[in-house]
Amino acid sequence: MLKLERLSFDVKEEKGTKKILSNINLTVDDGKFVVVTGPNGGGKSTLAKLIAGIESPASGSIFMEGHDITDMSISERAKNGISFAFQQPVRFKGIRVLDLLRMASGRNLSFGDACEYLSEVGLCAKDYIHRELNASLSGGELKRIEIAMVLARGTKLSIFDEPEAGIDLWSFQNLIQVFERMRERNKGRIIIIISHQERILKIADDIVVISEGKIIRKGSRDEVLPELLGTVSAVDMCKKFYEGGRR
Ligand SMILES: Nc1ncnc2c1ncn2[C@@H]1O[C@H](COP(=O)(O)OP(=O)(O)OP(=O)(O)O)[C@@H](O)[C@H]1O
């Protein structure tokens, strides 16, 4: 279980302190597939970075399986089962895709296993397995390799920051399938995806909406998605119209 308690984050600016996240309280049970959404600049990526340990909160606590991990470093958190896929994937010069997948999995992955992770994310394994993680890879290719890396790690908690960013329309369907499979196979793991995409929201168990640094809505997909898509108000309007007509 992941638990965030009264989590806040702010940055120092010339004029003073700017609040980025205020008093975030959130509990995510094991096995849940949670999508965090909300307007640009609301604080979603910052929240993901706080969970992964890339940023430190101004106040509040983060608990993973009952342990307070608030003061743990990124690498300690990674060892404790947290993976993070960046919005802008990182390039590692001199490291091949195969090396990255082997490092991520923590074992000497066979060629076949490594290829399977790449195929999962829609990359033709033989074309990529020996490629270096440098500027010759496109943004979309890097993004998919990064998702394959998180799959290979198979950690307790995986966080993906806008996995759809830079992915073309054709590959997007494939990406949805990757996450659907992840969700089906999810045995007690937690998956948190930051996304603006309706099709990713549609496969969530729970949806969390962050705006102006605060959680403004959280609940099951069936509760929250109709509100986000405006279908609740449309249904309410229809009801009123129908009831009005009967009178
Ligand atoms: N280190 C920082 N210094 C100054 N401002 C910051 C810093 N980190 C985040 N911010 C600001 O905090 C706000 C939230 O940023 P964040 O990237 O978390 O938003 P987001 O919800 O992920 O947005 P998007 O949907 O556009 O990716 C933004 O206004 C951003 O400019």
Residues 30-34, mean pLDDT to the nearest whole number: 95
Q: What are the residues whose beta carbons fall under 8 Å from the beta carbon of 129, sequence distance 6 or more? A: 96, 97, 98, 111, 114, 115, 118
Rg for the chain, CA atoms, rounded: 20
Count other Cβ atoms within 10 Å, centred on residue 56: 11
Q: Structural domain boundaries of the chain?
A: 2-246
pLDDT of residue 216: 95
Ligand 1 site residues (CB inside 6 A) read 11, 20, 38, 40-46
- Report residue 203 as tokens: 């496969």
Q: What are the residues whose beta carbons fall under 8 Å from the beta carbon of 69, sequence distance 6 or more? A: 53, 62, 63, 76, 77, 80
Q: How far apart are CA 8 and CA 43, in angstroms?
A: 11
Q: How far apart are CA 57 and CA 42, in angstroms?
A: 16
Predicted confidence (pLDDT) at residue 8 exceeds the cutoff of 60: yes
DSSP secondary structure letters along 150-205: HHHH--SEEEEE-TTTT--HHHHHHHHHHHHHHHHH-SS-EEEEE---HHHHTT-S
The pLDDT tens digits for 147-192 are 898 888 888 999 999 988 877 877 788 888 888 888 887 778 999 9
The pLDDT tens digits for 191-201 are 999 999 999 99
- Nearest residue by C-alpha to atom 12 in ligand 1: 20
Predicted confidence (pLDDT) at residue 64 exceeds the cutoff of 70: yes
CATH topology classification for 2-246: Rossmann fold (3.40.50)
Q: Which of 9, 14, 40, 45 to mutate to test the pocket of ligand 1 (most atoms within 8 A of CB)?
A: 45
pLDDT of residue 88: 67
Residues 9-26, mean pLDDT to the nearest whole number: 94
- Here the ipTM equals 0.96
Ligand 1 atom index nearest CA of 42:
21
Q: Which of 7, 14, 20 to mutate to test the pocket of ligand 1 (most atoms within 8 A of CB)?
A: 20
- Report residue 189 as tokens: 């793991």
Q: Which of 46, 192, 195 to mutate to test the pocket of ligand 1 (most atoms within 8 A of CB)?
A: 46
Nearest to 77 by CA among 153, 184, 164: 153
Phi, psi of 74 (to 5 degrees): -60, -45
Q: What are the residues whose beta carbons fall under 8 Å from the beta carbon of 195, sequence distance 6 or more? A: 35, 36, 37, 160, 162, 163, 164, 201
- Nearest residue by C-alpha to atom 1 in ligand 1: 11
